[in-house]
Structure 1
Amino acid sequence: MLIPKADRKKIHEALFREGVLTAEKNFQIDHPTIETKNLWVVKAMQSLDSRGYVKTRYSWRNFYYTLTPEGLDYLREWLHLPAEIVPATHIKQQRPHAPPRGMMGDDRGERRFGGRGRGDRERGDREGGYRRRDAGEGKEGGAPGEFAPQFRGFGRGRGGAPPS
C-alpha cells in the first residue's frame, strides 16, 4: 500500500520513541496517538513485521507491535538517529536503593523468619481453646465411643439399592 512519506515517518518515529505500538482493528478511524489514518499504521507495521523488524500480537480487536533488535537498527538508520538514542522500553528505570527483605528488622522480614506472621496471631484460630484441650481433661462433645460409620456402597458399579 502506498503511504505518504510524512505519515510513514510519523509512524516510525512513534514506534521508535516507545518501542511498542498499538492499533485497533478498525480501518475507518484515525489513530488516537499518531495523527494519521489507522489503516496506514496497521499496513506500515505489517510491512515491518514481514521483514522481521517488529513482532505482532493480536488480541481483542487490537494489534500490539513490539520492536525487535533488528527493527531497532533499521529504524535508527531510516530515521538517521545516533546510537545513544534508544526507545523508552529499552531504558532501565532507576529505583531508589532499598535494603533486601529480612534485613534492618522490617515487618516483612519478621514474618518470613519466625516473627509474627499469619500462623502466629495473638488471638487467632490456633490460640483459641476450642481446638486445644488441656492434658487433664477428657474429650468433650465428640462422637460416642461405639460410633462406627459404614459405607454401604451404592451408586454406579457398586450394586445394591440406595439406603431407604
Structure 2
Amino acid sequence: MARKLIPKEDRKKIHEYLFREGVLVAKKDFNLPKHGDIDTKNLFVIKACQSLNSRGYVKTRFSWQYYYYTLTPEGLDYLREWLHLPAEVVPATHIKQQRSHAPPRGMMGGEERERRSGPRPPREGGYRRREQEGKEGGAPGEFAPSFRGGFGRGRGAPSS
C-alpha cells in the first residue's frame, strides 16, 4: 500500500489556492516551516506542484531561487473536477479586467488634448533647439576628409 506523503487537507489547501489564483510562487527552501500564502509546509507546496507539473497540469519556471507555477488548461479541468467546482468558477488570472470608458491618454486627438489641458508653455533650454541656423561646434565648412587606403595603422601600402 502506497503512503501519501502530503496530508489530504494540506493538498486541498494547495489545490484550492492554485485554482483560485491560477498561479503560485514558492521559495526554494525545503526546510521553511510555512509557505508565505498557504497555511502548510513549503515542502508540501513544492512537492504537490512538482506532481502536477509531471502530469502537465502546471508549467514551472525557476528563477532566483523561486519556483513559479502557472496553471495549464488541462490543470484547470483537473482541479475543477478534483475540487468538485462548477464550470462557471474560474481562476483570477482568467477573469478579464474591466476597462474604464475614458480613452487612453495617447488616443486623444490634438484638439481634445489642448481643450483638456490648455495651451502648453514653450520649452526653454530643452534638448531640442528652435534655432538651427547658428549652430556652434562641428567641423568647419572647408573640412574635406580623404582616405588614402593602407594596411593597418600608421603604415601605408608598400611602394612599388
TM-score range (shorter-chain normalised) is: 0.7 to 0.9
Instruction: Tell me, yes or no, if structure 1 residue 62 matches structure 2 residue 66.
Output: yes
Distance 1:63 1:87 in 2: 19
Q: 1:73 aligns with which of 77, 84, 90?
A: 77
Q: What SS is found at the alignment partner of 1:85?
A: coil
Percentage identity across aligned positions?
Answer: 63
TM (normalized to structure 2)? 0.73
Instruction: Tell me, yes or no, if structure 1 residue 48 matches structure 2 residue 52.
Output: yes
| 2:140 match | 143
Alignment RMSD: 3.1
TM (normalized to structure 1)? 0.72
Distance 1:76 1:64 in 2: 21
Cα distance, 1:154 vs. partner?
7.8
Instruction: Tell me, yes or no, if structure 1 residue 13 matches structure 2 residue 16.
Output: yes
| 1:113 match | none
Tell me which of the two structures has the higher relative contact order, counting C-alpha pairs closer than 8 angstroms and 6 or more residues apart: 2
Cα distance, 1:157 vs. partner?
6.0
Q: 1:36 aligns with which of 17, 40, 45?
A: 40
Cα distance, 1:97 vs. partner?
1.3
Q: Deviations over 1:60-87 (max 9, x none)?
A: 0000000011101110110111111111
Q: 1:94-113 maps to which residues of 2 (within 5 A)?
A: 94-99=98-103, 101-103=107-109, 105-107=111-113
Distance 2:25 2:145 in 1: 63
8 A contact 1:153–1:159 mirrored in 2: no
Q: Structure 1 residues 104 and 85 mapped into 2: Cα distance closer, same or farther (>3 Å)? A: farther
What are the ranges of 5 or more consecutive residues in structure 1 without an aligned counterpart? 109-115, 134-141
Counterpart AA for 1:5: K
Cα distance, 1:106 vs. partner?
3.5
Aligned length: 140
What are the ranges of 5 or more consecutive residues in structure 2 without an aligned counterpart? none
Cα distance, 1:143 vs. partner?
3.0
Counterpart AA for 1:84: E
